[in-house]
């Protein structure tokens, strides 16, 4: 494992959140409160969840800010992370809850959902910066996809997002090889 377990979960959740944003003509994957409810359950978010339009707007507004982590250089990322932590008045505390052993929370459980999402993502990215691993943040290799990717693999081999682009690229490469060999056998 590259980072602490809770850090890796937080990084994966941040990637998933950023990738719900409508890009490349795709629809918004968090279009309404019900979709946000589902997202929260999928990613095991605990704490305050009001389930109203204002909360959804807050989460929507956070997505492009988090996407910037993939777009800025190291100094820019640091400025942004410090801003996110400062705005939320983040105060790291070790806590234990549900099935989770001790890990860091830097916001109280009754802070707005978007604030807690922002701080959890920022705290996890702090570890990435400190480990000099921002190079593991990529954009999906598919020419038609702008999804963000974090490569936590040992050999730094992850090139595609989790939205199926890797499979599609493999299928396309397979078809190309097949049609090439078919053309070759006819010649
Ligand atoms: Zn927790
Ligand atoms: Zn992709």
CA of 154 to the centre of ligand 1 (A): 26
Q: Give me ligand 2 centre to Cα 140, in Å.
A: 5
Mean pLDDT of 20-42: 94
How far is Cα 126 from Cα 18, in angstroms, rounded to an integer? 17
Q: Tell how far the Cα of 99 is from the centroid of ligand 1, in angstroms.
A: 9
Q: For residue range 38-95, what is the model confidence (pLDDT) as tens digits?
A: 999 999 898 889 999 999 999 999 999 999 999 999 999 999 999 999 999 999 999 9
Give the per-residue pLDDT at 163: 87
Which 3 state secondary structure label does DSSP give 138?
Answer: strand
- Which residues is 105 bridged to in the sheet? 93
How far, in Å, from the CA of 97 to the mean position of ligand 1?
Answer: 6
Q: Which of 105, 129, 146 is nearest to 15 (CA)?
A: 146
Give the tokens for residue 74. 């190291």
Gap from CA of 108 to ligand 1 centroid (Å): 10
Q: Both ends of the chain: CA-CA distance in Å? A: 50
Average confidence (pLDDT) over 17-46: 93
Q: What is the pLDDT of residues 131-183, one digit of tens each?
A: 999 999 999 999 999 999 999 999 999 999 998 898 888 888 888 888 888 77
CA of 70 from ligand 2 middle (Å) equals 14
Secondary structure class of 94 (helix, strand, coil): strand
Please give the average per-residue pLDDT across 116-131, as a whole number: 97
Tell me how far the alpha carbon of residue 104 lies from the centroid of ligand 1, in angstroms: 7
Quote the pLDDT of residue 100: 87
The pLDDT of residue 172 is 87
pLDDT of residue 23: 87
- Residue 153's alpha-carbon distances to 12, 127, 158, 159, in angstroms, are 13, 16, 7, 10
- CA–CA dist 48, 77 (Å, integer): 28
Give yes or no for a contact between 20 and 29, defined as CB atoms under 8 angstroms apart: yes
**Least confident interval from 13-22, 49-58, 94-103:** 94-103
Q: Is the pLDDT of residue 114 over 60?
A: yes
Ligand nearest to the CA of 103: 1
Residue 96's pLDDT is 93
């Amino acid at each position: 494992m590259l980072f602490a377990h809770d850090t890796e979960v937080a990084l994966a959740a941040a990637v998933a959140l950023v990738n719900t944003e409508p890009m490349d003509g795709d629809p918004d994957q968090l279009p309404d409160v019900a979709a946000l409810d589902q997202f929260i359950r999928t990613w095991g978010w605990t704490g305050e969840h009001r389930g109203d339009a204002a909360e959804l707007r807050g989460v929507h507004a956070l997505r492009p800010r988090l996407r910037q982590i993939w777009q800025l250089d190291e100094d820019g990322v640091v400025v942004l992370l410090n801003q996110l932590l400062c705005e939320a008045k983040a105060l790291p505390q070790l806590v234990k809850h549900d099935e989770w052993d001790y890990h860091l929370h830097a916001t109280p459980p009754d802070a707005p959902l978007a604030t807690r999402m922002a701080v959890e993502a920022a705290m996890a990215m702090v570890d990435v910066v400190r480990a000099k691993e921002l190079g593991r943040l990529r954009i999906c290799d598919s020419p038609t996809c702008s999804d963000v990717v974090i490569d936590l693999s040992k050999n730094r081999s992850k090139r595609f997002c989790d939205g199926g682009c890797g499979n599609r690229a493999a299928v396309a490469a397979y078809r190309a090889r097949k049609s090439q060999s078919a053309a070759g056998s006819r010649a």
